[in-house]
Amino acid sequence: MKLTTTDSMNQKLKQQVVDANKALVSSGLITLTWGNVSAIDRESGLIAIKPSGVAYEELTTANLVILNLNGDVVEGDLRPSSDTKTHLELYRNFSDIAAVVHTHSPSATAFSQAGVALSCLGTTHADHFYGEVPVARALTAEEVGDDYEHATGISIVERFHELGLNPLEMPAILLKHHAPFTWGKSVQDALNNSIALEMCAKIALMTWQLNPNAKAIPEHILNKHHERKHGADAYYGQS
């Protein structure tokens, strides 16, 4: 049921969500409507997400669905993405993230379907993901039958707690038998992480074709590359 609210989401943020959803197509991350982007305005607690099944070229700020953290629709006449409950669970538990991206990009999805974590083989990976991108467990029959998308979010959060991971240092997860999710400190950051995840997965597959015995990057190189871009004394890019 749509609620009456005096809250409103920033129009600029809505446009960023529209643009990022459309960028899933131009970046080659999705086929058909196999992906979605959402963003949260932490001040109002409102979330904008792509409506379910709507073609990306038809997406506008007017047909986005706006919800609160309880999942109540406060703006919009269309059904939200079928993955909405997963997005909500991430926002509720990862308080520093501002946007979530879900795709079925081919290489990252291959790792997901195989249930294989994405090893950090080199510096390209280390620049975006601090170590191995983990795999979340397969859901049980009871979880799928009860509340599939909510259980998906729970499995992601559960895996991060098990491994003691920081969501900002590891802004990605591979869902066993499913596909990847990424997130970030902004809409563009979350989108970039999704693009980077797909490229790192593709490079890893090519690396193992050339050398099936290729191992993870040495820890001192991993630390150097991650810290120079994301650490307290980062010096990558411009201030």
Helices vs. strands in the chain: H and E counts, helices first: 7, 8
Catalytic residues: 127, 236
Rounded Cα–Cα distance for residues 17 and 11 (Å): 10
State the helix-helix crossing angle for 84-93 and 141-163, rounded to 10 degrees.
30
Is residue 22 exposed (0-12), middle (13-18) or buried (19+ Cβ within 10 Å)?
middle
Which SS3 state, helix, strand or coil, does residue 87 take? helix
Helix residue spans in the chain (DSSP H): 11-26, 84-93, 106-114, 123-126, 141-163, 187-210, 219-230
